[in-house]
């Protein structure tokens, strides 16, 4: 297996670069900031990669150009045509996404002209098991259609898939995640610096409000040592920091310290525990 300098592609998602360089993605799609544009286009040339540019209408914020990158010009031309005609099944194929996941995505999201707030919940209800390697809760790209804020603090964390899976036990997605994980571990041993918090239980309120814990899940409960990250749901932080367990009951999150109940938050909608700590 031929190794390459992953640092050449700083600014692009690492797992996408793995897929492109090792042949299981025909193209990758990304915006490129002015800061990295010259360095990346130089890297493309050194590694035999080609690219085409789509206008800002293909960016969810309509503020950045979209770059399609490939080893073959034909793939770029075919993909560019598919983007312009809205052929999402063809786009998914060129990006290396499983057809079952593309179909699920098109059925549940792409026809809706708004930012998803419950796409993760849809995947949850379509799942029989929850493999942490398919945890996409930190991967926002596929779940945003209009400009909506999310934390740039998440940048150092890596997802092992770049698509939204149809379920958290999707065999085809898990195969891709395992390949990416293999390359991730190899390049990590050579100095690639990422820290993953994907193998952790998550308290899920909606796609942009959730808490990740260092702990263990059990049905609708999480026993934890500490809270690792909270996005959007600031009001419960003081209570979680002074507790060690929570339970979901009906539409409520009940927070405990030992056997003592500290606080009950009623959200008026279904709250989920995503048990990504359970399956390797």
CA angle, residues 273, 161, 172, in degrees to nearest 5: 90
DSSP labels, 15-84: HHHHHHHTTS-SEEEEE--HHHHHHHHHHHHHTT-EEEEE-GGGSTTS-S-EEEEES-HHHHHHHHHHHH
pLDDT at 210: 92
Please report how the helices 171-189 and 14-21 are oriented relative to each other, as an axis angle in degrees rounded to 10. Answer: 100
pTM: 0.90
Helix or strand (DSSP H, E) at 253: strand 252-257
Instruction: Decide: helix, strand or coil at residue 143.
Output: helix
DSSP labels, 109-130: IITS-S--SSHHHHHHHT-SS-
pLDDT at 278: 87
pLDDT at 226: 94
Return the closest-CA partner of residue 21 out of 144, 186, 247, 219. 186
Instruction: Decide: helix, strand or coil at residue 203.
Output: strand
Token pair for residue 202?
């998550």
pLDDT (tens, 9 = 90+) of the chain, 280 residues, equals 789 999 999 878 899 999 999 999 999 998 888 888 899 999 999 999 999 998 877 766 666 788 999 999 999 999 999 998 888 889 999 999 999 999 998 888 765 545 567 889 999 999 999 999 999 988 876 555 444 444 444 545 678 999 999 999 999 999 999 999 999 999 989 888 777 789 999 999 988 889 999 999 998 999 999 998 888 888 999 999 999 999 999 999 999 999 999 999 999 999 999 999 988 7
């Amino acid at each position: 297996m031929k190794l390459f300098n992953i640092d050449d592609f700083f600014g692009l998602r690492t797992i996408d670069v793995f897929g492109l360089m090792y042949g299981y993605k025909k193209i990758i799609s990304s915006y490129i900031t002015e800061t990295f544009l010259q360095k990346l286009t130089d890297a493309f040339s050194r590694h035999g990669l080609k690219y085409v540019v789509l206008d800002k209408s293909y960016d969810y914020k309509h503020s950045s150009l979209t770059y399609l990158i490939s080893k073959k010009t034909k793939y770029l031309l075919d993909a560019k045509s598919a983007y312009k005609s809205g052929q999402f099944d063809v786009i998914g194929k060129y990006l290396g996404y499983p057809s079952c996941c593309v179909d699920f995505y098109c059925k549940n999201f792409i026809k809706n002209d708004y930012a998803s707030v419950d796409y993760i919940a849809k995947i949850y209800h379509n799942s029989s098991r929850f493999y942490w390697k398919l945890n996409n809760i930190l991967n926002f790209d596929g779940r945003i259609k209009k400009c909506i804020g999310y934390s740039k603090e998440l940048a150092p964390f890596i997802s092992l898939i770049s698509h939204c899976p149809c379920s958290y036990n999707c065999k085809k997605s898990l195969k891709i995640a395992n390949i990416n994980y293999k390359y991730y571990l190899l390049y990590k041993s050579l100095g690639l610096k990422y820290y993953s918090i994907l193998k952790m239980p998550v308290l899920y309120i909606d796609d942009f409000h959730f808490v990740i814990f260092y702990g263990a899940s059990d049905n609708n409960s999480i026993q934890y040592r500490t809270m690792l990250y909270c996005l959007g749901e600031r009001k419960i932080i003081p209570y979680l920091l002074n507790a060690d367990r929570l339970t979901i009951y009906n539409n409520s999150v009940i927070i405990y310290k030992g056997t003592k109940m500290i606080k009950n938050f009623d959200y008026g909608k279904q709250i989920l525990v995503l048990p990504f700590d359970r399956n390797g």
